Amino acid sequence: MDHGAYMGPIKGIESPWHTLKIAIENGVDSILVNKGILKYYIDKISRSSKKVGIILRISGTLAGRSEFETLTSSIEEALVLGADGVAFTVYVGGDNYDEAIRLFGKVVDESDFWGVPVVGEFIPSTKLGSSVESVKLAARIGAELGADIVKTIYAEPFREVVETCPAPILVAGGEKREPLSILRIIERAMDNGASGVCIGRNVFQYEEPEK
C-alpha cells in the first residue's frame, strides 16, 4: 500500500493503520510501504501478533506526471526503520531512462553491500506497451541489472516471461479490476511460474478486503 505517496488518500487507504491492520491480521506475507508510513506505524507493526515482512519503497513520483521515479530514501534508512527489503521502480524506455537505471544500479550496489534484498519493479513504458515481448524485455532488464526479485505486469503467455528472466517474478495487481478478473490473472500467473503477486488496490479497494 505504497499508493499514498503518488495518488494520495485514495479509497481503501484513507486510514493507513486500519488498512495495514487488516492486511497483517489476515495473513499477508509482506507489506510494501513508504518511509513515512513505516515511521508512523513501525511500533504497531512490531507489536502485531502476526509477523509480516516489510518492503520499503525508496522511489517515487506523482501519478500521471512522468514515467520516471527518483530516489526518496536509502538502504541505510531502510535498515534503521526495520525494513526487510527495498523496492525501486523503473519504467523501461520511459522518461529519463538513463538516469533511472543509474539510480537503480546505485541502489543495487548499496543493497549488496548491506545485504538488503531489492525488489526491482520493471514496468514497460507507455511507449513500449504491454505486450508479452515488452514485459519480457522489462523483466529481463531488471534481472540483468541486479534485482533480487523482479516485479512486473502480467502478459500472456506468461510462461515466456518466467523462462527468460533468471530472477523470481512478482506480478503487480495494477488498477482495480472485477474480482474474478484479478483472481484469474493471479491463478494464471502462479500456474505459469510466478513466484508471487503484489496486490494493492484489488485488495484494499475490495468491499471486504479481509476476505
pLDDT digits (tens, 9 = 90+) for 24-37: 999 999 999 999 99
In which domain, by residue range, is 126 found? 4-204
Domain membership of residue 113 (yes or no) is yes
Domain membership of residue 211 (yes or no) is no
* pLDDT-derived band at 76, boundaries 50, 70, 90: very high
Domain membership of residue 162 (yes or no) is yes
CATH number of the domain where residue 62 is located: 3.20.20.70
Domain membership of residue 184 (yes or no) is yes
Domain membership of residue 159 (yes or no) is yes
Tell me how many domains the chain contains. Answer: 1
Domain membership of residue 129 (yes or no) is yes
Mean per-residue pLDDT over the chain, rounded: 95
Strands 196-198 and 169-172: parallel
* pLDDT-derived band at 178, boundaries 50, 70, 90: very high
Of 141 and 49, more confident: 141
pLDDT digits (tens, 9 = 90+) for 56-67: 999 999 776 789
* pLDDT-derived band at 138, boundaries 50, 70, 90: very high
Domain membership of residue 210 (yes or no) is no
Domain membership of residue 198 (yes or no) is yes
* pLDDT-derived band at 118, boundaries 50, 70, 90: very high
Mean pLDDT across the stretch 134-158? Answer: 99
DSSP bridge pairs for 90: 122
Of 211 and 139, more confident: 139
